[in-house]
Amino acid sequence: MGSQKRGSQQQEDVEVIDLTNESTKHNITITLDDSFAPAGACSYVEDIIDEDSSDDIEDCILGLPCPSPITDIAIIDDSSSSSDSLPSRIPSSVSLMPSSPASLFSTPSPKKRPSTSSASSSTNGPSQKRSKKEETQRLKKQAREEARRLKEIQKEEERVRKEEERVRKEANRANAATKQFDNCTANIDKNILTIVNDPEEITIKTLFDESTVNYRLTELPKLENSVTWTYKRAEVEDNQLVQKFKNSNWTLVVLEGSDYLKRLSAYKSSADSPLSLKTFMKEIRRRSKSDVVFLVYDLANHLKGERQKEAKNYRKTFKKTFDSRNGNSTSGETSAQDDIGSAPLSPKELHDLRIMLEMELKHEYNEWKMHVEFHEKTNDIIQAMVRYTRSIAKHDNKIKERSSTGFDWAIKMDKERAVDPTKSLEDMTRLWVTQLQQFTQITLPIAKAIAAEYPSPCALLDQYNNLSVEEAENLLAELYVQRNVRRQIGSIISKRIYRFMSCEDPEVHIGLS
């Protein structure tokens, strides 16, 4: 009874663990009693015996701490046994003891070392990660430096652009239209004051000061009795504002009436004469490479004096001829012929010679320009100098305005000359009147008479569509002109307007039909 009780108690204290190797179908049974290890040791064994091989299981068991002697350990290797018969096949505690105590505490067999490839991969793993990290950091640093460099370049470009804009604005302000007269200076030869009878510089100073233009007198000009112009321009060079002085491509030459007549008479005799006006023009062009304006002073008075002198010579000649009837007639005839040969040119001959010279220069030198003006008073000739000075001062701004405008002829169509028919009926009628005036022989009163009867082209076309050709041609013939009630438009104008409104042939000339 007691032995049975101990046997049952022994069976209750023993724990049996059955492990099966899935690869070999080999059963391994481990029997542990309560005296093997503390309570936590069994759970530790249960956690680590999930390995596949029996060697690992034995190593785990032998490596556990043993605070108390092992009483019952049974390792049963029986592939044919089943788990149902384990409790009945448990051996006694004596048979469970090892053959030698050293075997219990022998050093567990070392685990298998990993292969060389796995070791090298585990060794290279951190180094590869470190190299990748360093490469990433290097690329990020390079990207930051590139972004910083681009930002600095953009800042520098923005600074340069702002500086260029500032300098350009300063240049525009310096070349503004409000300062165009201050930037232009007329260089006047001092001998001109003697020619125009203003040696004290009174008239020229007064007129130039009133016109707010600058001038200065020169004693050694390139050309005698000439006026040249120098204007100051602000330009941008290397992002800096530079003041430059430029010469105009026009030269004004003041001629006395007697000098002009002498040169024009020489041109009449021989165009290539050294004293001719053509040779003088070539010399000015060679020395200044500019176009020329001639201001002829006191020509009318000089011609008047020449005519008086001619009349006096004629009377003297006539008297000599009359007195020589009873004396030596040969000397009188010879002196009369000499006086007739030296007769001055008439105004018509002067005009024809001047036109001939301009046409000849235009034919030979297409790019040359020559202009001649005649003035009889000191005030008039100085006013001409002031006028040319103001015109040359405005020249650059005019060119800039025309280049920005594009079609300079379209400026004339602006404001009062332009007609917008969409605003009101009056504007449409005004446009219709303007279109009718494009026909020949249609004046403003005739156009207004037609527009009063037919206020638009559509109204006139509708009336034409309701009539035959003969009636349509004479539709406007009997209309009376507003300014004169007795005057009618007539059949010629009526037919011309009808053919223009109804003709479909582009080759027909309305004015000749």
Contact by Cβ (8 Å): 295, 255: yes
The residue that leads in pLDDT, 56 or 196, is: 196
Name 167's Cβ contacts closer than 8 Å, sequence gap at least 6: 236, 239, 240, 241
The C-alpha atoms of residue 68 and residue 104 are separated, in whole angstroms, by: 13
Nearest CA-CA partner of 298 in 308, 288, 286, 306: 306
Report the relative pairing of strands 73-77 and 370-375 from DSSP bridges: unpaired
Q: Which of 78, 104, 130 is the last residue of a domain?
A: 104
> Which of 152-156, 223-227, 416-420, 455-459 has the lowest average pLDDT?
416-420
Residue 211 domain flag: yes
Assess if residue 70 is contained within a domain. yes
Nearest to 36 by CA among 86, 96, 107: 96
Residue 66 clears pLDDT 70, i.e. is over it:
no
Query: Do residues 436 and 442 lie in contact, with contact meaning Cβ atoms separated by under 8 Å?
Result: yes
Band (pLDDT 50/70/90 cuts) for residue 290 is: confident
The pLDDT tens digits of the residues spanning 202-260 come to 999 999 988 888 999 998 888 889 999 998 888 888 878 888 888 888 899 999 988 99
Query: What is the reported pLDDT for 1?
Result: 47
Q: Are residues 498 and 350 in the same domain?
A: no
Same domain for 424 and 487, yes or no, is yes
Instruction: Examine residue 64 and state whether it is found in any structural domain, yes or no.
Output: yes
Checking DSSP bridges between strand 214-218 and strand 184-189, what pairing results, if any? parallel
Rounded Cα–Cα distance for residues 259 and 302 (Å) = 10
- Is residue 186 predicted with pLDDT exceeding 70? yes
149-178, pLDDT tens digit by residue?
999 999 999 988 888 888 888 888 877 767
Domain assignment of residue 315, yes or no:
no
Nearest to 277 by CA among 291, 263, 262: 263
CA angle 100, 39, 95 (to 5 degrees): 30
Confidence of residue 366 (pLDDT cuts 50, 70, 90): confident
Do 351 and 428 have their domain in common? no
Domain with 29 in it = 2-104
Task: Tell me the pLDDT band of 192, cut-offs 50, 70 and 90.
Answer: very high
Residue 114 lies in a domain: no
Tokens representing residue 61 in the block: 């068991």
pLDDT at res. 147: 93
CA distance 32 to 71: 8
Range 54-62, long-range pairs (CB < 8 A, 24+ positions): 54/21, 54/26, 54/28, 55/109, 56/111, 57/19, 57/28, 57/30, 58/108, 59/108, 59/109, 59/111, 61/30, 62/104, 62/106, 62/108
pLDDT category, 104, cuts 50, 70, 90? very low
Q: Give the domain CATH number at 466.
A: 1.10.150.670
Instruction: Give the contacts of 215 (CB within 8 A, at least 6 positions apart).
Output: 185, 186, 187, 188, 204, 208, 385, 389
Interval 431-444: pLDDT, tens? 888 888 888 888 88
Q: What are phi and psi of 263, to 5 degrees?
A: -70, -35
Residues 495 and 391 reside in one and the same domain = no
- Digit-coded pLDDT (tens) for 296-342: 998 888 888 878 887 888 788 878 877 777 665 444 444 444 444 45
Same-domain pairing of 18 and 77 = yes
* Residues 447 and 396 placed together within one structural domain of the fold: no
Inform me whether the pLDDT recorded for 467 exceeds 80.
Answer: yes
The residue with tokens 């001649």 is: 372
Q: How confident is the model at residue 60 (pLDDT cuts 50, 70, 90)?
A: very low
Neighbours of 250 (CB within 10 A): 19
pLDDT tier at 199, thresholds 50, 70, 90: confident
CA distances from 196 to 200, 220, 375 (A): 11, 18, 10
Q: Which of 104, 124, 158 is the last residue in one of the domains? A: 104
Asked if the structure places residue 466 within a domain, the reply is yes
Is 7 found in the same domain as 46? yes
Domain CATH number, residue 189: 3.40.50.10130
DSSP 8-class letter at 339: H
Same domain, 100 and 30: yes
Residue 177 lies in a domain: no
Residue bearing the bigger pLDDT, 382 or 11: 382
Name the 3-class secondary structure at 252. Answer: strand
| One domain for residues 459 and 385 | no
pLDDT, tens digit, 9 for 90 and up, residues 83-98: 444 444 444 444 444 4
Bridge-based pairing of strands 26-32 and 184-189 is unpaired
Provide the pLDDT for residue 168: 84
- 3-state helix/strand/coil string of 303-317: HHHHHHHHHHHHHHH
Q: Are 215 and 258 within one domain?
A: yes
The reported pLDDT for the residue numbered 187 is 93
24 secondary structure, DSSP code: T
Reply yes or no on whether the pLDDT at 349 is more than 70. Answer: yes
Angle, nearest 10°, between helix axes 299-323 and 257-269? 70
Among 104, 133, 160, the domain boundary falls at 104
Q: Based on the domain organization, do 282 and 359 belong to the same domain?
A: yes
In a domain, 165, yes or no: no
Q: For residue 425, what pLDDT is reported?
A: 64
Residues 35, 40, 46, 51, CA torsion sign: negative
| pLDDT reading at 347 higher than 60 | yes
Q: What is the pTM of this model?
A: 0.49
Reading the block at residue 434, the tokens are 């303007």
pLDDT score at 243: 84
pLDDT at 320: 80
- Number of domains the chain contains: 3
pLDDT band at 410 (very low <50, low <70, confident <90, very high): low
DSSP per residue, 343-411: PPPPHHHHHHHHHHHHHHHHHH-TT--EEEEEE-SHHHHHHHHHHHHHHHHHHHHHHHHHHHHS-GGGG
What is residue 19's DSSP assignment? E
Is 367 in the same domain as 449?
A: no
- Judged against a pLDDT cut of 60, whether residue 127 lies above it is answered with yes
Which neighbouring-strand residues pair with 370?
A: 292
Q: How far is CA 497 from the centre of its chain?
A: 48
Measured CA to CA, the distance from residue 278 to residue 359 in angstroms comes to: 11
Average pLDDT, the chain: 74
The pLDDT value recorded for residue 92 is 47
